[in-house]
Structure 1
């Protein structure tokens, strides 16, 4: 396990602090955590990011930043933005390296004034290979290395073993990709259960995770 700091995976900010999103000279939202990022087959990226601020105004980022393909948000004081965007070259290289080296990210990832703080876990050799071959555009600092200790406050820890299995299958199949590459019927056939059972599991999974983040 390694704790590292690097630049944010998506820079929609504009006034110095990497956590802040500014539109037309106005502070619209402040980023609090990155809950998921995935590099799609077409080279674009989807991510789920937690913000505090004006959710409705953030959706206009599509008009301000050409690289943002779409932005949808949930409601509440602290809310989630689902971003679909064109990544910079160094981002693509980083995500591809993580996949190649069989290294995983311990979500959520937290943005700080110094950059993005993330925990990677995997075999020592894979972690060393990754950190020595990170793109030059990323300014990376290794903060700590040692045995992996899962965060019990992680929303995923609230899921049952079966729910985790279904969530992983849904992610792997592309159920949460844009456009969606798998349906509930596809997941039901893969896991050998009814479509209604899959739908019920997914609703319970999404409810647990969203409540753990928002409430």
Structure 2
């Protein structure tokens, strides 16, 4: 019988000196209250929703793809204003992608190199938070521990969550318990979410032989998980 390898995941928040200092840049400034905001010359230009991809190239530069909402055309001008930005191409729409090629700081380079050297993977996307960059990594437990231990001293790493990795973790349905999925599926089939509604929580409680309070609690928790996964 072969050895079964259990994949683990960790969600960490990574902060480093370059990240903190970038909030005080005079030309391109992160929002003081919301680090996802991008301000150029005192004007709020765009808000970053997620970092879809980052890759450290052989020449030491980075290419990244991030999802934004705001003024796409204005954000695209940063390549003319910020020396570290080599190029910036944007797509259209209410929410859009920015493809950015830039020169990273020394610590950002060290972090990306560290991740590349370990037998781990990134569960995209990454997200900005008030404290740093939130990243979910998965791989064997030993590799994850070795990765964290090897970060430079100037990098602050805070562990947010850890556990057994499942491939559908980023899928909103994969975040629901079995009971929440059962109740939500029954509610959908019975028309609870139709307009107008074709059933009530009392009806669902009778069908599933649960109390009305239990039905309401499970629906609220399931709805909250799905909403957070879509917009946070």
TM-score bracket for this pair, using the shorter chain length:
0.5 to 0.7
In the TM superposition, what whole-angstrom CA distance separates every residue of 1:153-205 from its partner, at most 9, and x where no partner exists? 39xxxxxxxxxxxxxxxxxxxxxxxxxxxxxxxxxxxxxxxxxxxxxxxxxxx
The 5-angstrom pairing of residues 41-80 of structure 1 reads: 41-80=58-97
Task: Say yes or no: does 1:119 pair with 2:136.
Answer: yes
Task: Say yes or no: does 1:109 pair with 2:117.
Answer: no
Change (3 A) 1:93 1:152: closer
The 5-angstrom pairing of residues 106-185 of structure 1 reads: 106-150=123-167, 151-153=169-171
Deviation, 1:31, is 0.6
1:13, 1:19 within 8 Å by CA — same for their partners in 2?
no
Deviation, 1:144, is 1.6
The 5-angstrom pairing of residues 19-58 of structure 1 reads: 19-58=36-75
Partners in 2 of 1:13 and 1:107 — Cα distance?
25
1:23, 1:64 within 8 Å by CA — same for their partners in 2?
no
Task: Say yes or no: does 1:14 pair with 2:30.
Answer: yes
Q: Structure 1 length normalisation: TM-score?
A: 0.67
Shifted more, 134-143 versus 46-55: the winner is: 134-143
1:55, 1:75 within 8 Å by CA — same for their partners in 2?
yes
Shifted more, 96-105 versus 46-55: the winner is: 96-105
2:30, 2:36 within 8 Å by CA — same for their partners in 1?
no
Residue 171 of structure 1 corresponds to which residue in structure 2?
A: none
Larger gyration radius, structure 1 or structure 2: 2
Deviation, 1:42, is 0.5
**What's the secondary structure of 2:165's corresponding residue?**
coil
In the TM superposition, what whole-angstrom CA distance separates every residue of 1:29-48 from its partner, at most 9, and x where no partner exists? 01110000000010000000
Shifted more, 92-101 versus 136-145: the winner is: 136-145
**What's the secondary structure of 1:136's corresponding residue?**
coil
Shifted more, 107-116 versus 77-86: the winner is: 107-116
Partners in 2 of 1:100 and 1:143 — Cα distance?
23
Partners in 1 of 2:74 and 2:53 — Cα distance?
22
Deviation, 1:107, is 0.4
Partners in 2 of 1:74 and 1:6 — Cα distance?
28
**What's the secondary structure of 2:166's corresponding residue?**
coil
Residue 196 of structure 1 corresponds to which residue in structure 2?
A: none
Deviation, 1:65, is 1.2
